[in-house]
Amino acid sequence: MKQGLSLRVSQHLALTPQLQQSIRLLQLSTLELSQEVDQMLDDNPFLEQLHDEPAREEFGLAQTDTPVRQDDVEAEAVSYSSAEFALESSKAAAAGADDDATPMVGDEGQSWEGDGSVELSPDDSEGGSDAKARANNLGGDEDVEAADLARGQESLQAHLHRQALSLRLSEEDRVALHFLIESLNDDGYLEDSLETLASGLAGEHTEHVEDLVHHFTVALGLLQSLEPAGVGARNLAECLSLQLHALSQRDDHGAPPTALLALALRICAQPMDLLARRDIKRLVQVCSSNDTQVRLAIALIGRLDPKPGRRFVDVERNVVVPDVLVVRIGKGANAKYRAQLNPEVMPRLRVHDIYANALKQHKSGGRDASNYAALQQRLQEARWFIKNIQQRFDTILRVSNAIVERQKSFFTHGALAMRPLVLRDIADELGLHESTISRVTTAKYMATPFGTYELKYFFGSALGTESGGNASSTAVRVLIKQFVEAESPTKPLSDNQISEMLKEQGIECARRTVAKYREGLRIAPASLRRAL
């Protein structure tokens, strides 16, 4: 074999620590980035945060995000503060939580013989009144932050502990009740059995398990007598039964008839799948009743709250602060929309001048050479961190402006005007990789005239139309939601009927695709949407 020398030129990408940090910062959400900045400020002495100087000067964003002149922006331009957006997002999250608490869609106007409909409202409980009063007090301050509203929410445990103070209990029962309250989950259910809790608390002292179970049994009865009704249940059937018993003890005229309550309790004692399927015929047989009474009882159960503790969940984690704000420039037909970074989410960082100058003047020779090299490395890390954060926001702004340009019809006409868009389109336009676009659009939010949305919301697959064009799957979802909202309560639309209605609109959408979109919108099937 003959030996020889050859020269070959090749390129490869090395994941340096700086590049790895840049990729990691790019995929962090606003909250995670804030935590990362706080951690870096604690670890690196060469990094300091400014509180009075504009962040735009620190990051040098004047080239990519030039301020819009005041005379170019309409007086009624779409502009928001992050506090307003966070407040709207927290309200939407609270509304979403209420929607989740509805077990089935029934006829809200259904009533029984001569009485009004029964509805369990948060205001019926003591905690609901207090929460409402706190909301009114906070609402009087125009400068209130959404986080302040979230922190004003009373937790379920605090609400129950406050009621337990009025009970005259022995020391053992008081401790047992306190233990059960702290063992509840966010929905107000007791997930573990009393025996499991007693065994875990007793540990090696197994002789005390029976005594602990006795105290837990007494405490459970006390817990289930507290507000909100249904708290402390071990399963859904018990939760609904507790609320029905609470309705029977009401002294006002809103209490349903005793016979109807008894029938509802018998239905709750049956397997829950019969109630979920609304199997009227089977329930009539097992409960020895007639069709009309069973329907009234199911309507009564449908107004109960299957998750009594959900309204006490701390909503602060649902507060969304947008990373990008969309403003309108120009008037009338010449109006254009443009994305701008939200200055309130941009950390204001710089290298500490005093420490950096002191290190620069320090001599690197002698026994302090190793310390000097370590400090020099920390200084370089601080500079890399600032540069990577700047690059993160620059990339978010570039992607956001590209999305606004592609979806400009959305900002004028709403979600029905959404165009098909995939990650590859933005990646090819900006010269970036699809994975980079995916990282940028994950957990990043844009404030628009129609609400605050995640950047991924503006991406949707294409569905064919009769004219040969394409329709966005996002717009199709909005159409399906509108069809369902306008349907007759007694004759809800099936997936096949919705598919035919979309074809009338010129959109080719199969029945299975309609079912997938409907489930994504959390809309029940037609059989469960039918009013009783």
Domain ends where: 271, 298, 315?
315
Helix or strand (DSSP H, E) at 452: strand 451-454
Say if 435 falls within a structural domain. Answer: yes
Say if 14 falls within a structural domain. Answer: no
430-439 tens-digit pLDDT? 999 999 999 9
Q: Can you name the residues that pair with 73 across neighbouring β-strands?
A: 329
State yes or no: pLDDT of 92 exceeds 80: no
Residue 54, helix vs strand vs coil: coil
Same-domain status, 115 and 242: yes
Looking at 295-348, which runs of residues are DSSP E strands?
324-329, 336-341
**Residue 23 and residue 439: Cα distance in Å, rounded?**
8
Same-domain status, 334 and 451: yes
Say if 514 falls within a structural domain. Answer: yes
392-405 tens-digit pLDDT? 999 999 999 999 99
Number of domains into which the chain is organized? 3
pLDDT of residue 120: 33
Average pLDDT over residues 439-446: 92
Q: Can you name the residues that pair with 470 across neighbouring β-strands?
A: 464
**Residue 60 and residue 44: Cα distance in Å, rounded?**
22
pLDDT of residue 210: 85
Average pLDDT over residues 85-102: 42
Structure-token pair, residue 80: 């928001």
pLDDT of residue 340: 92
List all residues 6 or more positions away from 380 whose beta carbon is below 8 Å from its beta carbon.
none
State yes or no: pLDDT of 362 exceeds 80: no
Average pLDDT over residues 216-235: 89
Range in 97-111, 167-181, 383-397 the model is least confident about? 97-111
State yes or no: pLDDT of 64 exceeds 80: no
Average pLDDT over residues 232-249: 89
Per-residue pLDDT band for 91 (boundaries 50, 70, 90) equals very low
Same-domain status, 143 and 237: yes
Say if 13 falls within a structural domain. Answer: no
List all residues 6 or more positions away from 137 whose beta carbon is below 8 Å from its beta carbon.
none
pLDDT of residue 97: 41
For residue 355, which of 385, 374, 379 has the smallest C-alpha distance?
A: 379
**Residue 530 and residue 532: Cα distance in Å, rounded?**
6
Domain ends where: 408, 426, 457?
457
Range in 120-134, 173-187, 451-465 the model is least confident about? 120-134
Same-domain status, 274 and 201: yes
**Residue 120 and residue 114: Cα distance in Å, rounded?**
19
Per-residue pLDDT band for 78 (boundaries 50, 70, 90) equals very low
Structure-token pair, residue 111: 């009533």
Average pLDDT over residues 253-263: 80
For residue 194, which of 203, 183, 205 has the smallest C-alpha distance?
A: 183
The answer, yes or no, to whether the previous bond of 256 is cis (omega within 30 of 0) is no
**Residue 495 and residue 521: Cα distance in Å, rounded?**
13
State yes or no: pLDDT of 56 exceeds 50: no
Say if 6 falls within a structural domain. Answer: no
Domain range enclosing 174: 97-315
Domain ends where: 295, 315, 335?
315
pLDDT of residue 424: 92
**Residue 71 and residue 335: Cα distance in Å, rounded?**
13
Residue 366's region, left for phi above 0, alpha for psi from -120 to 50, else beta, is left
Same-domain status, 354 and 413: yes
State yes or no: pLDDT of 251 exceeds 80: no
Say if 120 falls within a structural domain. Answer: yes
Going across the sheet that includes 445-448, the strands are 336-341, 324-329, 445-448, 451-454
Say if 85 falls within a structural domain. Answer: no
Q: Where are the alpha helices (DSSP H) in 79-208?
A: 82-100, 126-139, 146-151, 156-164, 171-182, 194-202
**With 0-12 CB in 10 A as exposed, 13-18 as middle and 19+ as buried, what is 465?**
middle
Highest-scoring range by mean pLDDT, 26-40, 148-162, 327-341 = 26-40
Residue with tokens 């817990």: 223
**Residue 97 and residue 80: Cα distance in Å, rounded?**
25
Q: What is the pLDDT of the chain when averaged over all its residues? A: 77
State yes or no: pLDDT of 100 exceeds 80: no
pLDDT of residue 252: 61
More confident residue, 375 or 256: 375
186-216 tens-digit pLDDT? 888 988 888 888 888 777 777 778 888 888 8
- Inter-residue contact 451 to 88 (CB < 8 Å): yes
DSSP character at residue 64 = T
- Tell me what percent of the residues of the chain surpass a pLDDT of 90: 19
Per-residue pLDDT band for 82 (boundaries 50, 70, 90) equals very low
pLDDT of residue 341: 93
CATH number at residue 479: 1.10.10.60
Helix or strand (DSSP H, E) at 447: strand 445-448
- Inter-residue contact 516 to 482 (CB < 8 Å): no
pLDDT of residue 202: 77
**Residue 53 and residue 38: Cα distance in Å, rounded?**
18
Same-domain status, 68 and 119: no
State yes or no: pLDDT of 522 exceeds 70: yes
Same-domain status, 55 and 184: no
State yes or no: pLDDT of 519 exceeds 50: yes
**Residue 475 and residue 413: Cα distance in Å, rounded?**
11
Highest-scoring range by mean pLDDT, 28-37, 116-125, 252-261 = 28-37
Per-residue pLDDT band for 98 (boundaries 50, 70, 90) equals very low
More confident residue, 109 or 48: 48
Same-domain status, 347 and 469: no
Q: Is the dihedral of CA 142, 147, 148, 149 positive or negative?
A: positive
Question: Does the global pTM surpass 0.75?
Answer: no
State yes or no: pLDDT of 448 exceeds 50: yes
Same-domain status, 213 and 331: no
Residue 488, helix vs strand vs coil: strand
Distances, alpha carbon 180 to alpha carbons 45, 155, 243, 503, in Å? 46, 15, 19, 55
Same-domain status, 362 and 429: yes
Write out 250-301 in H/E/C secondary structure. Answer: CCCCCCCCHHHHHHHHHHHCCCHHHHHHCCHHHHHHHHCCCHHHHHHHHHHH
Residues in the chain: 532
Say if 124 falls within a structural domain. Answer: yes
Same-domain status, 104 and 214: yes
Average pLDDT over residues 492-503: 91
State yes or no: pLDDT of 117 exceeds 70: no
- Inter-residue contact 44 to 382 (CB < 8 Å): yes
Same-domain status, 190 and 306: yes
